[in-house]
Amino acid sequence: MSETSPQENPPLATAILQDVYTILTNPKGFYRRMPKAGGYGDPVTFVLVIAVVTAVGMAVVSLFGLGTVGEAMAVGFGGIIFIPIMTLALSFLGAGIVFAVWKIIGSQEPFEAAYRCMAYAAALYPITVVASLIPYLGSIIGIVWWTYLMIVATTEVHRLPQKTAFVVFGIIGIFFVSTNLSSEIVVRRMSSDIENAGTNLQQLEKTTQETSE
């Protein structure tokens, strides 16, 4: 979508797959060639399509009982509707935050450029679903990869020094990793306590029933 010339005009699915492949394998080249303007249609469509794919993946994972914190949001396939809407809203919110960060460190690019940087980073979402199957490590992989993409976007799109990009987004990445890990530890501990409480309750009911008999 972002790198295809109007003459080629490939199908939507093909264009999105091409973008995802390039973002994952050659992020510097992708962000270097990414149009900084042209309307919100392409990046919004990209976010929505990726969000739907991610939601389907979360729903499938949850059906097999393999889901962790993130998959709890995908209750059945209802998340296929809810998650894309939430993801789109968060893409604008996140773009607003990184836009402010880029402005503070000297970027002259408009909000649309910041949104496009954030929107195409959504290519990571399906991967994070798979990575989340690995306790704790999964969330770290997603955040570290996103941080790297933002560093690349800082240098290739906003033309800011690489050292500045590493320092600023490195700090942001460390903050998100520590916060995410703390939250996951708490949620997993709570889930374990609830599961143990349920087991104890079943044993108590069984004992009570045997006593009454």
| C-alpha span between 134 and 86 (Å, rounded) | 24
| C-alpha span between 69 and 50 (Å, rounded) | 19
Half-sphere exposure of 21 (CA within 13 A, CB side): 8
Looking at per-residue confidence, does 14 or 9 come out higher? 14
The top-scoring range by mean pLDDT among 69-83, 175-189, 190-204 is 175-189
Please state the φ and ψ torsions of residue 143, each to the nearest 5 degrees: -70, -45
Share of the chain above pLDDT 70, in %: 74
Q: What is the CA radius of gyration of the chain?
A: 21
Q: Give residue-wise pLDDT tens across range 78-100.
A: 677 888 899 999 999 999 999 99
Looking at per-residue confidence, does 188 or 22 come out higher? 22
Please report the pLDDT score of residue 63 as a whole number. 67
| C-alpha span between 13 and 204 (Å, rounded) | 55
Beta strands in the chain (DSSP E): none
Residues in the chain: 213
Please report the pLDDT score of residue 210 as a whole number. 56
Nearest CA to 119 out of 32, 208, 23 is that of 23
Half-sphere exposure of 63 (CA within 13 A, CB side): 10
Burial of 17 (0-12, 13-18, 19+ CB in 10 A): middle
